[in-house]
Structures are given as C-alpha cells and as structure tokens.
Amino acid sequence: MPEHAGYEKSAHLYDLFDRKENVEFFARYASQAGKILDIGAGTGRIAVPLARRGIRVTCVEPSPAMRGEFEKKLRAEPALRERITLIPGDATSFDLGRTFPAAFLSGCFDHLLDDDERLAALANVGRHLVTGGLLVFDVFLGLMQDAPLSPAGEVRVGEREIRRLVGGQVLPGRRKETVLVFETYERGALVDRIEERSLVGLTDRDAIHRLLRASGFAVRQEWASYDREPFHAGDALLIVEAVREASGE
C-alpha cells in the first residue's frame, strides 16, 4: 500500500496483536483456485498457512519492515519458498505480467486514501485476474469516527508484557490519522515505547460498489464477518466477493 501506511517501527509486533480469525475464510477460496495473488500480504499471516496446504501464493507487499518479518518465516520454513513468491510493490502499480484465478486484499483497502487510489488499485488488480476471476477483500467501515488512545490488547512474551493502545482522529478530506502505541514492560517498569502514526481513507459501501463497477467488477456476495454473517447497513466490517467481468482498462 502507499507509504503512509506504516508499521515500519513495529512490524515485529504485528502478528502478536493481529488476531483476526480469517485464515479459514480465505483458505476456502484459495483451495478452489489453487494459486492466489495476495496483495498487501504483510508478514504472511494468511499466505504462510495457505502455502503449508500446498497452495501457491504470490505476495505483493510495499513495506520493507513487513517483508522482513515475512522473510524470517520463510527462512524458518525453507520449503515454503517453493510455493510463496514475495515481491515488493504497491497495489496501484505492481506489474507481474501474468494473471490469477483469485486475489485477496485483506486489511489494507483502508490504506488507499481516496477514490483515485482505490480505482487505480482495483483496475490494477483486475489486470492481474482472469476473466471470471475473484477479488475478495475486507473494509473496516467502523473506522469513521474519532477514537481516544485506548488499550487494545496485551501479550506476555517471556518476562516482558507488551501493551498496545490504539486511537485516531478524523481529518478533512475523508481521512483519518491512526495512532498505534506499543509499550513494553519488564517487572512492571516501562522499558520500551513505540509510536506509529499513519493515514487511512474513509469510504462507504456505495462508493465501493461504484468503484468496483468502474474497474470492471461485479459484486457477487457481501458479509459482515468472516463467519459469513449477512451485511447490514451500519455494520463495522464489510467483506466483498467480486468477479472480474472486464479488463478495467
């Protein structure tokens, strides 16, 4: 995603706190497709379990720090390199020169700041899908409010306790600055503090549908959870399954 989507100082902590139970959700698509394009693949939290099941995953990730964490997993399991290709790149401009039966955008659509970036990304993904190929992505519509810095989980690692705090402020132009703070305590004393600030773009379901149509996609299904609960207006999470009907050119 664009450079304003940062985990550069805290990528090594990402997996400790990302507890979204969505691997099985995406695995259903991956097992049918056989090979997958994973855009904004992060640390490989989804790609690695898929590769362990024999699925070939081509991963695009712009963040050097996140790719570094991903590479650590590949070094720990060298056999996965036969099924995982990790490429630096941005959703709006990566160019692989081949197409796929399905693509994922998980946890990163919000980092596209405006409709121009969203349309560029969707059109680019469309160019990398076969006709009839599927794009599956999630959007956190519940981000559209101010939120004071508040506790958002804690994890114990050996003698250390790591606490995460999350907050944010809505800005003009349908954007929001998000703040992530990670505090590390040892024997009750604060020994490290990391603060990350990044921008996310605010959007809504109608705008997403419009952009999908403009980039050659048709919405097939929508959900409000990874358990496939139906989406209703006001739900915080929107998950979209869209099919590529045209090139998006």
Q: What is the pLDDT of residue 6?
A: 62
Model's pTM, two decimal places?
A: 0.92
Average pLDDT over all residues of the chain: 94
* pLDDT surpassing 70 at residue 103: yes
Q: How many CA atoms are closer than 13 Å to the CA of 105, on its beta-carbon side?
A: 26
Token code pair at residue 114? 């405006």
DSSP 5: S
Query: pLDDT digits over 127-179, tens only?
Result: 999 999 999 999 999 877 899 999 999 999 999 999 999 999 999 999 999 99
Q: Which two tokens stand for residue 13?
A: 């902590």
Question: What's the confidence (pLDDT) of residue 247?
Answer: 57
- Per-residue pLDDT band at 20 (split at 50, 70, 90): confident
The answer to whether residue 4 scores a pLDDT higher than 50 is no
- In this predicted structure, which of 6-20, 49-63, 101-115, 191-205 has the lowest mean pLDDT? 6-20
Question: For the segment 173-228, what is each residue's pLDDT rounded down to a tens digit?
Answer: 999 999 999 999 999 999 999 999 999 999 999 999 999 999 999 999 999 999 99
- DSSP assignment of 26-95, as one string? HHHHHHHHSEEEEET-TTSTTHHHHHHTT-EEEEEE--HHHHHHHHHHHHHSGGGGGTEEEEE--TTT--
> Can you tell me the distance from the alpha carbon of 29 to that of 236, in angstroms, rounded to the nearest whole number?
23
Per-residue confidence (pLDDT) for residue 5, from 0 to 100: 53
What is the pLDDT, as a whole number, of residue 3?
Answer: 45
Indicate whether 26 pLDDT > 60.
yes
**In the block, which residue shows the tokens 């990398």?**
128
Instruction: Work out the average pLDDT over 8-29.
Output: 93
